[in-house]
Chain A
């Protein structure tokens, strides 16, 4: 409560918060009225962007405040409770969740274009600033007189793609801070200029960061083909529409949170979603013209980073790596043809560079096949996978209870893959990720098993229902007839 002392209060009372809140509300309302800026109530459940859009279109010029919307929302705030029993009047403050008015100031910024500032009307008067990097890039291109065609909030074409990429790379914390500074100068806030001058300034941190790669196709048909192929592959590789992925923490029945891969083909456009803790990787068809691969980081701590703006670059790089890896996996899944060495090296006993023995992997052996198939499920996770998380999946693919595929067997199998250069240990932790060679081999074997061996062997077994292609079935029947005819000619049949 040190800021109350700065304001001259001798007793830190919740009544003072109420006074600041009320003064701020009146000041903001008067500020809007003086400028004929709309003041609206935002109802629960309605999509705020849809409400604001018509007002946004009415704004003339390149910058200005669109409207102020008021919504009651939950926030972490101080709640004062009167302390009793010690004679003097005093309060205890508890950091708790309260439902208070939030003021959404929708604006069009000179450098950022559309965005909004959400102001919590009660102590500690936090701000939330929402901006869009694509809109920022559009403004920069316009300023530099470079022609472009927009695709929703992205780009369909640009006269100078290299310059556009360089602009995107140059976006940084100083640009965020500059936008906030412009807002602070423009708007009345609960903590005014006097407070800022006394060092009670706002410090920005990253609450959510979306890092995207947009790839525009020459024709819409190409985009549809891309998704048709990607979806087919995800399903064939044993990824049903909802596959729970267990990641980076012990998961028990009551563990909250979602850990999943989802493929959504309902509605207009197909999309692929991978969730890792609070991080979300999404791939979708943008405006029927481009594929957008987007990593949303909701908590920097998921990756051992902090939320401060100093970590912006690291988080952006992490998002890019994740996008690149997803696209790589999708390409490898379609072109995982291996050289002869890639197949012969793993099946021979060898030694690592350090002289450790690397036992042969018997390709086709159920345990090896199940392990590689299970690893395919985790091929895109940015933080890799632990043996504890992987073991139930391998057991399931082997068709045995979890306890019959022991941690010791799992440890041996993983060590073998590491020594063969197919798996890599991440740091000093017991966490692994597939190497490029491992990813290719795992995907190749998974596809070989699910698309060639299983249907092929099924075709050869007359007792199993015929789900193989008619051409293969007819061909095998012809071979059978020809062999019988030959045996008949040789008088070998009984």
Chain B
């Protein structure tokens, strides 16, 4: 059975480096700032 290095070198047909899920936070700064009442 081929080892890990051989499997990756000889039997991988496509390699893709890509961002998968991205979770972004949208915040309005003025709504989180306390300026007193």
Q: Which A residues fall within an 8 A CB radius of B? A: 1-3, 5-6, 11-12, 83, 90-93, 95, 123-134, 137, 153-158, 161, 164-165, 168-169, 171, 176, 180, 191, 195, 199-219, 222, 225-226, 228-230, 233, 294, 307, 316, 320, 323, 327, 330-331, 333-335
Contacts and interface: CB of A to CB of B under 8 A. Distances in A.
A231 B32 CA distance: 47
B25 to A, nearest CB: 4
A320 B17 contact: yes
Contacts of A202: 26-28
A137 B18 contact: yes
A379 B18 CA distance: 24
Given A126-B25, A331-B5, A222 B19 contact: no
A29 B13 CA distance: 48
Contacts of A205: 24-25, 27
B20 A153 contact: yes
Contacts of A211: 17-20
A201 B30 CA distance: 9
24 contacts: A1-B33, A3-B28, A83-B37, A91-B37, A95-B32, A129-B24, A133-B18, A134-B18, A154-B16, A155-B14, A200-B28, A203-B27, A204-B24, A206-B25, A210-B20, A211-B17, A212-B18, A217-B7, A218-B12, A225-B7, A230-B4, A294-B20, A316-B19, A331-B5
A164 B16 CA distance: 8
A1 B22 contact: no
Contacts of A204: 24-26
* Interface-central residue, A169, A202, A294, by most chain B CB under 10 Å: A202
A213 B17 contact: yes
Interface residues of B, number: 34
B35 A5 contact: yes
A207 B17 contact: no
Closest CB pairs A-B (n = 5): A133-B19, A127-B26, A124-B31, A202-B26, A208-B23
A133 B28 CA distance: 25
Contacts of A212: 17-20
Interface of B: 1-5, 7-8, 11-37
Given A128-B24, A229-B4, A233-B4, 11 more contacts: A92-B37, A95-B32, A124-B28, A127-B26, A131-B21, A210-B21, A213-B17, A214-B18, A217-B13, A229-B1, A323-B17
Nearest to A176: B24
Given A202-B28, A327-B8, A209 B22 contact: yes
Nearest to A153: B20
* Interface-central residue, B1, B13, B16, B23, by most chain A CB under 10 Å: B16
A157 B24 CA distance: 29
A90 to B, nearest CB: 5
A133 B22 CA distance: 7
B37 A130 contact: no
Contacts of B31: 3, 123-125, 191, 200
Nearest to A320: B17
B4 A134 contact: no
A124 B31 CA distance: 5
A4 to B, nearest CB: 9
A93 B14 contact: no
A217 B11 contact: yes
A384 B3 CA distance: 27
Given A330-B4, A331-B4, A191 B16 contact: no
Contacts of A90: 37
B22 A210 contact: yes
A154 B13 CA distance: 14
B20 A157 contact: no
Contact of B12 (A11, A134, A216): A216
